[in-house]
Structures are given as structure tokens and as C-alpha cells.
Chain A
Amino acid sequence: MSISKARLCAQTIKDNFVDLHAPLNALQAEQEAARCLFCHDAPCVDACPTGIDIPGFIRKISSGNTNGAAITILEENIMGGTCANVCPVEELCEEVCVKNSSEHKPVVIGQLQRFATDHLFEKSTQPFQRAAASGKHIAVVGAGPAGLSCAHRLAMLGHQVSVFESRPKAGGLNEYGLAAYKMNDQRAAKEVEFILGIGGIEIEYEKSLGKDISLDKLRQQFDAVFIGLGHTAVNALGLDNEAADGVYNAVDYIEDIRQQDLSSLPVGRNVVVIGGGNTAIDIAVQIKKLGAENVSMVYRRDLKAMGATEYEQEIAQTNGVVIRTHSKPVAIHTTDGKLSAVEFEYTQTDSNGRLVGTGENFSLPADQLFKAIGQSFNPQPLQDSECPQIVAGRIQVDEQQRTSLNNVWAGGDCTAGADLTVEAVNDGKLAALSIHEYLK
């Protein structure tokens, strides 16, 4: 059988999907917090897209004021719990930690952040209160990190919020798109519950923009609108046979991993992943954890050019994924309508810095192929209404997340940026503050 379910026994699969890092215990947190120098004007704060007072929350961990630490985090980043697990800290706060200079080892800020936020979530108390009711009502489209962040901040500021979500669950990519070994145990759902706990936020599920609701209508019915649609389109390879059995969009399969019984998922013996970003890493590592024998992640350029950080590459390699570089897909081969192999051409960079094929090809036998070459914003849901300006395929916004339309804001992956959860959370927060000013 080239593709089969439950290649590994249920217990093994379960063991394979435990947290990437065990949470710090209290002693580890104390020792690690003691390493923090409590820098003044700390570089880590500058590097955090949400500007969390990192030395401040670490000092609170040091003093035993762990609840206070969590609030310091959540004040700036209401999804500080998720970000603690999924932020690429190796290229954000931890990359610039001054301890890299003195000891070649940063303070593990992400893990300390998890220690603090877990502590607060265990008590499931809502530390934030709502301001007096403003009488204003704002529509938020999309219950992902950007939308929920915006909604929470608006609720704090005293506004009423209606969130329209096309799917049956809230959380966006936190719920549907993160690697399960980074965010397990219903963590995303619990975080949504925590965010909604402030009150004043109603979510209308399975309501899609452009189908069940329109931007024009929302603008008429609400005092302001925030669009946090995310990425809804998946890039294609542009090859024949992309619809063959065994060819998947990585994001669809990752969603299945998060939403379905792991033992029910189809797992190939020989698996090929095309792409060089974190999604490619996520699918390659997880399909390996599900029992695939040979997993190759193939990327057209070199390791340095990959969107996935060095740390993510290491996770793939230590999980037995083979990373092949300088190879671009040229053909998908099938037998009886089923995937049988993927053919690649070696590439090189020419004197002008362009990537060109060498004319030399090789094939990898494959019974599963995962495409992870990027996603994009799909503006189609806006087409039935007056549409905000779109530049380079994304909704254009200013530094306050304002679109070209006077009462419409946008943020997250549907706008330009680094496509990180933490960026989306910040977009939502900035938009809420701007909406609040606008409504005054």
C-alpha cells in the first residue's frame, strides 16, 4: 500500500505530537529569568512586533509575580499565549537578546512568555475590564489573530463588536493552520474562549463575506469595519496533473491534522514537499511524525534563501526530513491517475542573480506530494462592494491600518507584512486604537 491510514499505532502518533518544547517548570523559569539583564531600552522590545515589555515581564517572573507577568504580555499582545509557542523568536526577540553577544545564548523569551501566560490561563481569569459602553458597534470580518485582536481591544475600549467568520470555529490559522506539535491540547480554542471572556464580542459563524454579507452592507450597518480575511488562496505549481490523487495543498492537509483523528489521515510511504517556508517545514515534519518513510522537502534555491528559519530547518532535519535545494519541479508523473513520481530540474543562479535550470533532471518516487509554495489574499469577496485599494495583491493600509475607504480598516495576512501571527495581532490592535480615535 503506497498510501495508508494509521501507519503508526495511535500511541506512537500521540507521542510524536507532544509539544516541541516541554513547558518550563518553575525552577527553570526562575533560573532563566535570572539570566535576563533587565536591559534599558531593550533590543528585544524593539524586535517584538507587538512591543511587549519583555524585560518587564521577565522581572515579574523573577519576583514571583507571574500573573502580573502574563498581564504585561497580554496588554500588548492578547495572543501572547499562542505567540509564545509559534513566534519565530530566533529572528525576533531572541535574535537580538544581548546575551547572544556575551554568552552566545539568548534568554529563552518565548518559553518564559509561555510560562507566564500558561499560569494565567490555568486560572482562566480575565484580567481586562471593559470601559463604559460607547454605544458604537463595529464589524470585524474574520475571527483570526488580526480580527480577534482587534475585537478584544475594541471591547476593552467599550465598543460592541460583531465578528463574521466563514468557518465553524474561531481562531483562524491558530485553529486551522499551525503545526500541531507547536500548538496542541485545544490551546487555540481555549485562547479564543479567553479573548471572548471580556464580553461585548459576538461571533457569527459560517458567514462569508461576498456570500452571506457584503462590505457595502457592513459599512452601512456598523460604525466601522475591520477586515481580517487572511490568505484564502493557495499558489499552484502550474504543472499538469496537479489534481491527481496524492497531490495536496499543504495547508489543507495541515487543517486536517488539526481537525481530524490523526489515525484517520492518509499517509504515503514516499512523500515529497515542495516549498521552502515554514508551511513546508510544518507539513514535512508532521507527515514524518504520522509515519511516512521517506520525506523530501525540495526547494528551488539554497538554504539561506528559504523562508523557513535555520531553527525550523533544524527541526525538519532532526525529524528525518531530507532537505533538497536547487531543484525546481517540472513534471508530476502519474500511473492510473495516481501520483507516482515528481520530476525536478536542478537549478543554479546565473551571473545576473537569476535562478535558471541546468537542463539536468531527476525524479523522486512519490505517492504523496504536498504543495507549500505560498498562499495569497483572494480579493474576490470584496468584488460586490466598493473595494478598498489593493496594491501588490493585498489591501493597502496606512500605519494605523486604515484602508482607502473612510470607515474600513484591515490587517493580518490580507495586508502587506511578514505574515506572522504576532504581526496580525499587532495590526488588529493598531486598527482598534485607530477606530477608537475615529469614533470619538
Chain B
Amino acid sequence: MADLSCKIAGVSSPNPFWLASAPPTDKQYNVERAFEAGWGGVVWKTLGEAGPPVVNVSSRYGSVDYNGQRMIGFNNIELITDRPLQVNLDEIAAVKKAWPDRAMVVSLMVPCNEQAWKEILQRVEQTGCDAVELNFGCPHGMSERGMGAAVGQVPEYIRDVTGWCKTYTDLPVFVKLTPNISDIRQPARAAHEGGADAVSLINTINSIVSVDLDIMAPKPTVAGKGAHGGYCGPAVRPIALSMVSEIARDPQTHQLPISGIGGINHWHDAAEFIALGCGSVQVCTAAMRYGYRIIDDLVDGLNNWMDSKGYSTIEDFRGAAIPNVTDWQYLDLNYETIASIDEDKCIECGLCHIVCEDTSHQAIRASKDSDGKRSYTVIDDECVGCNLCELVCPVPDCISMVEVENGKPYLNWGGHPNNPMRSE
């Protein structure tokens, strides 16, 4: 069995699966259930400053369902913890004491002034937690009060707040980034400049998951009104992977440890984040969809896959895919693939033909014999190797993309004759 233990920014855990700062990590009761189930760590649901806690609304979550499947996308309009600060701090201390081997990171969000951060850090340190995570990502509610994403969207604020935190605590500082920004490298660089020990991303995305067409209001609906919420779940994973890769290959931040977040549902999703450089991963929606017991396959599946690949530790493959993430301009324009259909596996649904015919390159011919047997033939000269047929085919391995041995050398856009700006 592989060793799944991980260490990121000085924080150790028996496996890389942490529960993200969210409803599942709001209370001792929840977190202890998670640790009993086998989770490697948690980021405790965001604490605010001392005083009256925030108030949450009734109706908090919305779902994007697709073709009979629930929650392929999920959003929420819940704020930070609505329990008194001291209750949370006492519970954090108790849990850390009872579960010393698990990662205990505490998420924080206080107003953007030095004193506020200094005060909360002093109190949090006393819990014995392993690190803090600065919530610069929450896109709803708190951002209207100048916190969360309102900070995360201004790199200078990120740098300054991170700097204050590094001044007032010796705990490792994770900075959680919002994806509601055009270039994720800017806030990551700012966190790095401020001295962050790691970044966590992505936080949730501004979203309206659906509109109730009877009452003409967004969901989730609160007394007939709705507000945009934070979007997460499997549907956001591609966005998260892309943003993680941007930071991992940016010359200024490529050394910065990353805790990956965004739609992790299965172990292979986690493996993909790790392959792009993440040292740990954080999960929320999948746990909220099925309960904590999903940790069993997350750990077991990752372990078995690592064994099959001969990886004995997380570090063995962490970042292994980064060198292969490049810019479009460096892709080989002479590389060719064409679709190949395995007629023995074909079930005659015709989807490859109709999507190619209607929306692509008219490269799959449909024919029907006198018995009604349908067959689909790739017209090699018309196929551009776009993969669409392979993607829509419902049968695994029925359509494959086959490389054409054309003997042509590597040629990217920079040197392509069609490029008027090409370097001679």
C-alpha cells in the first residue's frame, strides 16, 4: 500500500483529503464524525470577529441537476459561522487535542484592518490548531461588508492582510483565493508577496443556479427574493484545475504550496489536482451530497491507483502533469489524429454521425442496409480529429482517436506559414 500521508506548508495529515471550510466543518460534532470516518484534516468553517455572530437566512442551497443526476453543480448563500466565536474556539481546541494527527486549519474572515486580524489570530493560536486559512473568497454576503471576495479581488489587500497575519502569528498562513477574478495569478502573487505559506483554491463562483419560473425568482429563494450565491460541485472542477495550473506554472508562484479545491468527487479528481501540483485537496460538495463515508473510496481508490502506477508517496506524482500544461501557441500544429470507429462495439445510436454532420465537419457517413442495420464510417479526409464523436459515443472505447503517422516535424503557430507575425 502506498503512503498517503501529506505535508503541506508545515501541516501534516495522514491523507491529503481535508474537508473544506463550509457547513460540514462548523461544529465539533460534525468534525469528529468526519475524523472517525477517516478524513485527513479539516478547515474549520470560517470564524468572524468577536461579538454578535452573523445571521443566516433560511433557504441556503441551490442545485443544478442534469439528466436525472442531482447536484452536479451546487451553490449556497450561507455566510461564515453563525455560532459565537468562543464556542468555536473551545471546540477546535477540544477536537485538536482528541485528534492530534489530523490537520486542523482554521478559516478566518474579519474586517480589513490590522487590529482585527491581530486580535483574532491571538485567540486562534490558543486552540493548538495547525494553521490558519484566510477566507478571501466568499463571494456573497460577506463581500458586501468589505470582506471575503471583496478582499480577494484586490491583490494589494491580499498582500497587506497576509503580511499582517504573518506578523502576528507563527502559524502557517494559507490564503484562500476567489475565482471571481480575470487572472488568478495576480492574487496568488500578492499572497506570495505577503508571505503566504500556501494558497487554497478555488473558492466558490458567483452564480444563480436557476430561476423559479413560477415565482420568477432565483433559487434558493428567501421570501420571494434570491441573491447570487457561491457555485461549487463537479461542474466547477475544470475551472479549478485550470486556475491551479496557472499558479503552479507561474514563475513567481510555482514554489507556492497549493491546497486544491473544486468539485472533487472521486479519488481520480484528487489525483488530477495533485498531478497539477496540489499538496492537499479539500472537499465539500461531495460530502454534502453523500455524507462523510465517501472518504473510504477516496483513500482506497487513490491508494490502489498509486499502487498500480508504482507511486509510493504523494510526492512521487505531485506536479507530474505541470510540464505538459503549456500555452496554445506551443501546441504542435502538425500533430494529427482521426477518429476510428470499432463497428463491433457500435450500438447504432447514430450520435457520432449527427453531431459531426450538424455541428462539426461532416466526417462521419451514416448508412443503413436492407435489414435496417446502421453503420457509421469516418471519412478520413474530412476528419479534423476534434474528438466530438468520441465524447458523445455512449460506449467506452468504441470510438478512438488514432494518431496519423504523417512524418511531419513539430511546428507551432510561431513558425507556421499562415502566421503573419511568425519569426523567420
Given A98-B347, A102-B347, A102-B394, A41 and B68 touching (CB < 8 A)? no
Most-contacted residue by chain B among A31, A40, A46, A62 (CB, 10 A): A40
| B348 in complex: contacting residue of A30, A62, A98, CB < 8 Å | A98
Alpha-carbon distance A30/B347, docked complex (angstroms): 23
Given A34-B67, A34-B68, A62-B67, A40 and B350 touching (CB < 8 A)? yes
Enumerate A90-112 residues with CB–CB distance to B below 8 Å.
Answer: 96, 98-99, 101-102
Question: Chain A binding site: helix, strand, loop or mixed by DSSP?
Answer: helix
B181 at the A interface (CB under 8 A): no
Check if A102 sits within 8 Å of B68, measured CB to CB: no
| Least CB separation from A42: chain B residue | B350
Check if B395 sits within 8 Å of A102, measured CB to CB: yes
Check if B68 sits within 8 Å of A101, measured CB to CB: no
Check if A37 sits within 8 Å of B394, measured CB to CB: yes
| Least CB separation from A33: chain B residue | B68
Check if A41 sits within 8 Å of B350, measured CB to CB: yes
Alpha-carbon distance A98/B395, docked complex (angstroms): 11
Stretch of B158-166, B260-268, B366-374 contacting A (4+ beta carbons < 8 Å):
B366-374
| Least CB separation from B354: chain A residue | A40
Check if A37 sits within 8 Å of B351, measured CB to CB: yes
Alpha-carbon distance A30/B70, docked complex (angstroms): 12
| Least CB separation from B395: chain A residue | A102
| A40 in complex: contacting residue of B67, B347, B349, CB < 8 Å | B349
B67: chain A residues at CB < 8 Å are 34, 62
B353 at the A interface (CB under 8 A): yes
A40: chain B residues at CB < 8 Å are 349-351, 353-354, 366
Alpha-carbon distance A96/B373, docked complex (angstroms): 10
Alpha-carbon distance A293/B347, docked complex (angstroms): 46
B395: chain A residues at CB < 8 Å are 102
A43 at the B interface (CB under 8 A): yes
A46: chain B residues at CB < 8 Å are 372
A39 at the B interface (CB under 8 A): yes
| Least CB separation from A30: chain B residue | B68
B348: chain A residues at CB < 8 Å are 39, 43, 98, 101
B349: chain A residues at CB < 8 Å are 37, 39-40, 42, 98
Alpha-carbon distance A46/B395, docked complex (angstroms): 22
B69: chain A residues at CB < 8 Å are 34
B366: chain A residues at CB < 8 Å are 40-41
Enumerate B10-52 residues with CB–CB distance to A below 8 Å.
Answer: none
Given A31-B68, A34-B67, A43 and B351 touching (CB < 8 A)? no
Q: Convert A13-40 into 0s and 1s, putting 1 for each residue whose CB lies closer than 8 angstroms to a CB of B.
A: 0000000000000000011011001111
| Least CB separation from B357: chain A residue | A40
Total chain B interface residues with beta-carbon distance under 8 A: 16
Most-contacted residue by chain B among A30, A34, A41, A96 (CB, 10 A): A41
| Least CB separation from B372: chain A residue | A46
| Least CB separation from B392: chain A residue | A37
A31: chain B residues at CB < 8 Å are 68
A34: chain B residues at CB < 8 Å are 67-69
Alpha-carbon distance A30/B67, docked complex (angstroms): 8
Check if B68 sits within 8 Å of A39, measured CB to CB: no
Check if B394 sits within 8 Å of A43, measured CB to CB: no
Taking the nearest CB of chain B, how far is it from the CB of A92, in angstroms? 13
A38: chain B residues at CB < 8 Å are 351
Enumerate B340-376 residues with CB–CB distance to A below 8 Å.
Answer: 347-351, 353-354, 366, 368, 372, 374
B351: chain A residues at CB < 8 Å are 37-40
Taking the nearest CB of chain B, how far is it from the CB of A80, in angstroms? 23
Taking the nearest CB of chain A, how far is it from the CB of B354, in angstroms? 4
Alpha-carbon distance A99/B348, docked complex (angstroms): 10
Check if B350 sits within 8 Å of A39, measured CB to CB: yes
| Least CB separation from B398: chain A residue | A102
Check if A43 sits within 8 Å of B374, measured CB to CB: yes
| Least CB separation from A62: chain B residue | B67
A102: chain B residues at CB < 8 Å are 347, 394-395
B368: chain A residues at CB < 8 Å are 41
Alpha-carbon distance A43/B395, docked complex (angstroms): 17
Check if B374 sits within 8 Å of A41, measured CB to CB: yes
A96: chain B residues at CB < 8 Å are 372
| Least CB separation from B65: chain A residue | A30
Enumerate B366-424 residues with CB–CB distance to A below 8 Å.
Answer: 366, 368, 372, 374, 394-395
Alpha-carbon distance A101/B394, docked complex (angstroms): 11
Taking the nearest CB of chain B, how far is it from the CB of A235, in angstroms? 33
Taking the nearest CB of chain A, how far is it from the CB of B177, in angstroms? 36
| B372 in complex: contacting residue of A37, A39, A43, A99, CB < 8 Å | A43
Check if A101 sits within 8 Å of B347, measured CB to CB: yes
| Least CB separation from B66: chain A residue | A34
Q: Convert B63-76 into 0s and 1s, putting 1 for each residue whose CB lies closer than 8 angstroms to a CB of A.
A: 00001110000000
| Least CB separation from B355: chain A residue | A40
Alpha-carbon distance A37/B349, docked complex (angstroms): 7
Alpha-carbon distance A39/B68, docked complex (angstroms): 18
| Least CB separation from B366: chain A residue | A41
Alpha-carbon distance A292/B354, docked complex (angstroms): 55
Taking the nearest CB of chain B, how far is it from the CB of A58, in angstroms? 12
| Least CB separation from A98: chain B residue | B347
Alpha-carbon distance A101/B354, docked complex (angstroms): 20
Enumerate B70-111 residues with CB–CB distance to A below 8 Å.
Answer: none
Taking the nearest CB of chain B, how far is it from the CB of A349, in angstroms? 27
Q: Convert B187-209 into 0s and 1s, putting 1 for each residue whose CB lies closer than 8 angstroms to a CB of A.
A: 00000000000000000000000
B374: chain A residues at CB < 8 Å are 41, 43
A62: chain B residues at CB < 8 Å are 67
Alpha-carbon distance A96/B374, docked complex (angstroms): 12
B394: chain A residues at CB < 8 Å are 37, 102
Taking the nearest CB of chain A, how far is it from the CB of B350, in angstroms? 3
Taking the nearest CB of chain B, how far is it from the CB of A97, in angstroms? 9
Taking the nearest CB of chain B, how far is it from the CB of A62, in angstroms? 7
Alpha-carbon distance A43/B348, docked complex (angstroms): 8
Taking the nearest CB of chain B, how far is it from the CB of A207, in angstroms? 42
Alpha-carbon distance A34/B69, docked complex (angstroms): 9
Taking the nearest CB of chain B, how far is it from the CB of A113, in angstroms? 18
Taking the nearest CB of chain A, how far is it from the CB of B38, in angstroms? 31
Enumerate A26-84 residues with CB–CB distance to B below 8 Å.
Answer: 30-31, 33-34, 37-43, 46, 62
Taking the nearest CB of chain B, how far is it from the CB of A381, in angstroms? 38
| Least CB separation from A32: chain B residue | B68
Enumerate B273-301 residues with CB–CB distance to A below 8 Å.
Answer: none
A99: chain B residues at CB < 8 Å are 347
Taking the nearest CB of chain B, how far is it from the CB of A47, in angstroms? 8
Alpha-carbon distance A391/B366, docked complex (angstroms): 39
Alpha-carbon distance A34/B395, docked complex (angstroms): 16
Alpha-carbon distance A42/B347, docked complex (angstroms): 11
Alpha-carbon distance A280/B39, docked complex (angstroms): 62
Alpha-carbon distance A37/B67, docked complex (angstroms): 11
Taking the nearest CB of chain B, how far is it from the CB of A240, in angstroms? 47
B372: chain A residues at CB < 8 Å are 43, 46, 96
Taking the nearest CB of chain B, how far is it from the CB of A56, in angstroms? 13
| Least CB separation from B374: chain A residue | A41
Contacts A42-B350, A99-B347, A102-B395 known; 9 new A-B pairs at CB < 8 A: A31-B68, A34-B68, A39-B348, A41-B350, A62-B67, A98-B348, A98-B349, A101-B347, A102-B347
Name the 3 nearest CB pairs between A and B, nearest first.
A34-B68, A40-B350, A40-B354
Name 15 interchain pairs, CB-CB below 8 A, sorted by A.
A31-B68, A34-B68, A37-B349, A37-B351, A37-B394, A38-B351, A39-B349, A39-B350, A40-B353, A41-B368, A41-B374, A43-B372, A46-B372, A98-B349, A102-B347
Chain B residues proximal to chain A, CB less than 8 Å: 67-69, 347-351, 353-354, 366, 368, 372, 374, 394-395
Chain A residues proximal to chain B, CB less than 8 Å: 30-31, 33-34, 37-43, 46, 62, 96, 98-99, 101-102
